[in-house]
């Protein structure tokens, strides 16, 4: 508690840490909204109290409830600007990296089993994304570093962006367009899109830009050594088929995975599909590379370079607005343009709000953390939540953030923060060791060395949660650390986490299995357990204090008089259970 308080106070005193006057930018955003309120005669919702603000800020910025200790620290601070200081503090909290990682994991479909056909682990790529977030890399650079990545996956895990869609370059292109341009070109893969302006030809010309990418590189030297290795494997199997069961597949898969090296094949040509049906070309014609707007790309060593320049040009209609819309939805519970992966054709694309946000982000040189601060520091973020239904985005006015269920990760992480005091203390770190172990040179191509490497891999992966605390076999780690198929991932799936097959498919829907998990399954078992931080905080306290502690820990607020009366005389377990299952816990307030 002391440590937190000191860090927090240090923040309060440092005050304006960022050079720009970000407050001014927040008021600019509020001013646009104010205009909408006045012109429509709709009143914005009232401001929220400190307690509500605290929980909302924690959940929105670092993705979990505040712990009891954090609740108490914030309550004890008396400074006029303590809300904006809390925002700054949380933006630099390790939990913020976790939370933003979850945002990207859903969009980029990040998981350890990276692509079905590949046999290597996604952890280095996952770690790459996390460290980009931690370093607050400017967003434009973040995108171009991914799209221009080259070299061995184990040296430059940014190439994971392409390995994620190994063997499916067209799907990868559709993903790039959806995630970074907010433009859905998937229809144009097979036919001209009647709802948009894209033709199948445009799609294929853009695809030709990325067609140079070659994901396997094998030197002649390697091929030679590989031949010898094959002979060695065959001889072993012949000598003792029983003992060497599966050796062939094992060695093959491993060696192929180690040769993951993204390079550019300059002469590779892309052809139109065999059933191309339009008059501007014949089936199987070679495609001339061009960006989506139809401009042929420069003849260079890396055609991607021209595509990136086109995307990052300030005049691009949706590159900046795409991310601005996504961040807005992430903070305020509803996107400005609801069809977030297809903002391209929305009538709101050039609305005043979208324009001003895009300008601010550009002015901040794509500094994501400062931009998020601007949004979080608005009056809007401090208003009560809009609870009603809305028909469509066009007429929607943000009189408050929009009520939303917590995401799967927020639910999990909030329960974890009841069990341990510092939920961020555990971070997976095996990616480094793993990458080193996957670097195989020609001289390593013999069965003995490779079997030893395989064993090391298994050991690394098996022990990845060893340092974490556990309750009932579940590791008490944040959701951002869970990226493979295990028990924790199954629970997260029940809570609505995406399986990361497709872009942003996490869900806030309920389900019977999800509710069972909270009422009678693992979520309840985690929270109601004598080994948790919560129950150790309750130890030796009076019945009234206990009710207070449980309310502060689970809901980050004090109980009302009426609630105190309702809960008097009930067991700790029952109170925790009831609050855990309440809609107040499941929804942002």
* Residues near another protein, by CB under 8 A: 116, 165, 168, 171-172, 174-175, 184, 186, 195-196, 338-339, 342, 345-347, 387-389, 392, 394, 403-405, 485, 496, 499, 501-503, 505, 507-517, 519-522, 563, 566-567, 570, 574-575, 577-579, 581-584, 586-587
Shortest CB 341 distance to another protein, Å: 8
Shorter beta-carbon distance to another protein: residue 240 or 387: 387
Shortest CB 22 distance to another protein, Å: 32
Taking the CA of residue 213 as centre, how many other CA atoms within 13 Å lie in the half-sphere pointing to its CB?
Answer: 30
Tokens 């130890």 label which residue?
A: 539
Shortest CB 202 distance to another protein, Å: 17
Shorter beta-carbon distance to another protein: residue 135 or 519: 519
Q: Residue 325 in contact with residue 182, Cβ under 8 Å?
A: yes
Shortest CB 575 distance to another protein, Å: 8
Q: Residue 263 in contact with residue 214, Cβ under 8 Å?
A: yes
Shortest CB 382 distance to another protein, Å: 20
Shorter beta-carbon distance to another protein: residue 228 or 513: 513
Shorter beta-carbon distance to another protein: residue 60 or 342: 342
Any residues with CB less than 8 A from the CB of 235 and at least 6 apart, and which?
none
Q: DSSP states of 3-21 as a string?
A: HHHHHHHHHHHH---SSS-
CA gap 351, 355 in Å, rounded: 6
Shorter beta-carbon distance to another protein: residue 199 or 425: 199
Shortest CB 333 distance to another protein, Å: 10
What does the buried/exposed string (b/e) look like for 312-328 if buried means 16 or more CB atoms within 10 Å of the residue's CB? beeebebbbbbbbbbbb
Shortest CB 91 distance to another protein, Å: 27
Q: DSSP states of 168-197 as a string?
A: -HHHHHHHHHHHHH----SGGGTS--TTSS
Shorter beta-carbon distance to another protein: residue 31 or 485: 485
Q: Which residues pair with 474 in a beta bridge?
A: 471
Within 10 angstroms of residue 227's Cβ, the number of other Cβ atoms is 11
Shorter beta-carbon distance to another protein: residue 165 or 413: 165
Shorter beta-carbon distance to another protein: residue 449 or 486: 486
Helix (H, G, I), strand (E, B) or coil at 151: strand
Shortest CB 517 distance to another protein, Å: 7
Instruction: Write the CA distances from 523 to 317, 392, 577, integer angstroms.
Output: 44, 35, 10
């Amino acid at each position: 508690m002391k440590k937190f308080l000191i860090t927090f106070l240090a923040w309060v005193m440092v005050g304006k840490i960022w050079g720009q006057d970000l407050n001014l930018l927040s008021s600019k955003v509020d001013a646009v909204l104010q205009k909408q309120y006045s012109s429509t005669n709709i009143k914005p919702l009232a401001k929220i109290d400190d307690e509500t603000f605290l929980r909302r800020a924690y959940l929105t910025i670092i993705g979990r409830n505040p712990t009891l200790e954090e609740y108490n620290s914030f309550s004890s601070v008396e400074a006029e600007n303590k809300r904006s200081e809390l925002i700054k503090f949380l933006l630099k909290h390790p939990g913020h990296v976790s939370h933003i990682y979850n945002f990207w994991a859903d969009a980029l479909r990040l998981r350890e089993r990276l692509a079905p056909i590949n046999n290597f682990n996604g952890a280095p790529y996952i770690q790459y994304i996390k460290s980009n977030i931690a370093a607050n890399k400017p967003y434009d650079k973040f995108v171009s570093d991914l799209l221009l990545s080259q070299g061995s996956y184990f040296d430059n895990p940014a190439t994971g962006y392409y390995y994620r869609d190994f063997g499916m370059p067209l799907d990868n292109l559709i993903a790039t367009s959806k995630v970074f341009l907010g433009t859905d070109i998937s229809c144009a893969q097979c036919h001209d899109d009647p709802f948009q302006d894209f033709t199948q030809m445009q799609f294929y010309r853009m695809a030709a830009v990325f067609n140079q990418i070659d994901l396997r590189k094998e030197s002649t030297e390697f091929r030679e050594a590989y031949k010898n290795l094959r002979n060695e494997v065959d001889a072993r199997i012949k000598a003792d088929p029983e003992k060497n069961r599966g050796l062939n597949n094992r060695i093959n898969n491993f060696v192929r995975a180690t040769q993951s090296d993204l390079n550019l094949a300059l002469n590779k040509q892309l052809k139109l599909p065999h059933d191309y049906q339009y008059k501007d070309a014949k089936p199987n014609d070679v495609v001339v590379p061009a960006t989506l707007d139809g401009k042929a790309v420069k003849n260079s060593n890396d055609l991607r370079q021209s595509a990136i320049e086109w995307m990052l040009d300030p005049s691009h209609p949706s590159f900046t607005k795409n991310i601005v819309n996504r961040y807005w939805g992430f903070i305020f519970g509803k996107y400005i343009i609801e069809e977030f992966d297809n903002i391209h054709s929305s009538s709101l694309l050039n609305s005043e709000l979208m324009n001003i946000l895009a300008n601010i982000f550009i002015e901040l040189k794509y500094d994501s953390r400062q931009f998020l601060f601007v949004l979080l520091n608005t009056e809007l973020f401090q208003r009560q939540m809009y609870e009603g239904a809305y028909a469509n985005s066009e007429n929607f006015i943000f009189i408050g953030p929009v009520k939303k269920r917590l995401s799967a990760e927020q639910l999990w992480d909030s329960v974890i923060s009841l069990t341990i005091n510092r939920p961020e203390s555990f971070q997976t770190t095996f990616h480094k060791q793993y990458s080193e172990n996957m670097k195989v040179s020609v001289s390593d191509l013999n069965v003995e060395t490779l079997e030893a490497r395989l064993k090391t891999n298994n050991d690394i992966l098996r022990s990845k949660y060893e340092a974490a605390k556990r309750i009932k076999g579940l590791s008490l780690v944040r959701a951002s650390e869970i990226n493979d198929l295990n028990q924790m991932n199954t629970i997260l799936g029940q809570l609505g986490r995406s399986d990361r097959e497709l872009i942003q498919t996490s869900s806030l829907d309920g389900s019977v299995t999800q509710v069972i998990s909270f009422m009678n399954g693992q979520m309840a078992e985690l929270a109601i357990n004598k080994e948790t931080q919560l129950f150790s905080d309750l130890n030796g306290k009076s019945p009234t204090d206990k009710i207070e502690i449980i309310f502060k820990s689970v809901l980050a607020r004090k109980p009302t008089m009426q609630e105190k009366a309702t809960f008097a005389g009930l067991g700790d377990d029952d109170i925790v259970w009831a609050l855990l299952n309440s809609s107040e816990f499941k929804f942002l307030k």
